[in-house]
């Protein structure tokens, strides 16, 4: 260890009119802080969370599983996956019509992923069963028109004058 420290050479460039002990001390402190920062970032690679690319998912050294999703409504799945804290990657397969989506996720997230898919599928089935807001609105408009037709307006123009 002592030999390694002795053989390294460091060059620090400081701009200034006069170099005092305080300026040199500030420069050395800044240099040490930069070295520590570089060591910290080199030792720990950035970990990605949530939606990410397949490349970043593979770099995390975990087994990868996938599930096929044929529904084009991926945004609602993304909300569910974010809720459960799943690290996943989406891949769109355009070779088929309609395009299908492959969801890749870590192997240790299988249980969480199945629960998220149950919730996602239940939500999508529930949405399909509900009538759309436009259908409801048109139905209510028709009902109100029928009610207005039933109300017949009678105006009595008689003011007590006989003709």
Q: What is the CATH number of the domain that holds 61?
A: 3.30.70
What is the three-class DSSP state of 93?
A: strand
Q: How confident is the model at residue 29 (pLDDT cuts 50, 70, 90)?
A: very high
Question: What CA–CA distance (Å, rounded) separates 152 from 146?
Answer: 11
Residue 24 lies in a domain: no
pLDDT tens figures, 74-129: 777 788 888 888 888 888 888 888 788 888 888 777 788 788 878 877 887 887 77
What is the domain extent for residue 84? 54-123
Residue 147 lies in a domain: no
Residue 63 lies in a domain: yes
Residue 132 lies in a domain: no
Residue 60 lies in a domain: yes
The number of domains in the chain is: 1
Q: Is the torsion defined by CA of 38, 42, 44, 48 positive or negative?
A: positive
Residue 124 sits at the vertex; the CA angle it makes with 88 and 74, to the nearest 5 degrees, is 35
* Predicted TM-score (pTM) above 0.85: no
Residue 98 lies in a domain: yes
């Amino acid at each position: 260890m002592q030999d390694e420290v002795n053989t390294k050479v460091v060059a620090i460039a400081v701009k200034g009119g006069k170099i005092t002990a305080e300026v040199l001390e500030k420069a050395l402190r800044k240099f040490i802080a930069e070295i520590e920062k570089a060591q910290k970032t080199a030792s720990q690679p950035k970990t990605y969370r949530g939606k990410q690319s397949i490349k970043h998912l593979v770099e995390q050294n975990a087994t990868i599983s996938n599930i096929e999703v044929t529904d084009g409504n991926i945004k609602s799945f993304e909300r569910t996956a974010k809720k459960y804290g799943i690290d996943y990657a989406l891949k769109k397969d355009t070779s088929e019509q309609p395009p299908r989506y492959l969801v890749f996720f870590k192997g240790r997230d299988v249980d969480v992923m199945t629960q998220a898919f149950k919730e996602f599928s239940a939500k999508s089935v529930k949405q399909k069963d509900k009538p759309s807001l436009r259908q409801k609105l048109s139905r209510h408009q028709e009902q109100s028109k029928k009610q207005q037709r039933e109300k017949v307006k009678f105006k009595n123009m008689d003011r007590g004058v006989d003709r």
